[in-house]
Chains A and B, each alone.
Chain A
């Protein structure tokens, strides 16, 4: 049974979430104050954090950053009343994996949670790319999110790892930006699929000798990218 840490200060909303999530087979631990989250987080073992952004004590965005700084890669799903694009992006930049905008139906919430678990399972899938992947003296660890390239060692985010893995699994194939968004985000979070380009820039910085003349991450104009080894 998956365990969810629910961080929500509104008693009725929290109650409704607990009832429905438990009915859907999740175990839920509820915290109603931002100041108590890290304590509960350190004490328990959770599979996902479902968290409101507006919280008394410490807000959800700050808590998300604290969880990431503590080295945890636990999926974080934000509940937010704010549906403007820049505000949603703010949550994802802080280290959130997904968001859901109030009001929402239980079915939508459960689909989002399952989507996160599905993508997480894909990242940890026990196949060729289960734990790590090496090419031309470069290395990426999909469990610790560590990468090693000509410039040294780097820490990647879950999404950067997922982009890398998706491309590596399709070595030599042209992958569109839409494909990457569907696989890594599950749907279009950002206003433009050019967001993917930023992730490719980061991967090039780590793995390419000269990021301005990429060898491994080739841009296919108007379509997307192709990953290929040099040798």
Chain B
């Protein structure tokens, strides 16, 4: 066993740091067993996700889909049809062929997201009918029509709105944090405003009573 001077120096400096760190530790180490600790941690699990009251408004979806079917077919061109078909939600897309060119759909059935390229970044369009209830008040700026809520993110803008009993999001992400598309809300609001094309795959059509 050889004692190394460098090791001693590092050890000494570390002991000083460890002592200082320990003094500002707010929570002392627990004497609970692993099982007790896990039991405590498990008690803190969130309430289960729930579907908004009323669920998906398939009647309105069906009516709207009949009106925009042609647009829906056009907007969905290029998306993975198998993913479209297993999505049991009305997929909402922007009427923007340029944006949708090359877009990719990832579907989990009860949740989907579409990722599309835009110059200098990407746009994600998502939908879900499940939400987690939160009991603490949400500190939000005044909401616009249709309960559109826009949040500034590290790399862009995130817009949320509810339609047909589904929570939809439009998120803009920029490669450069200084990109104007992401620094102000104009672009995400514009994409949201034209997100009115409904696409129903097999699972959604069945749920809407439209057959396959």
A and B form one complex: no
Interface, chain B (partner A; CB < 8 A): none
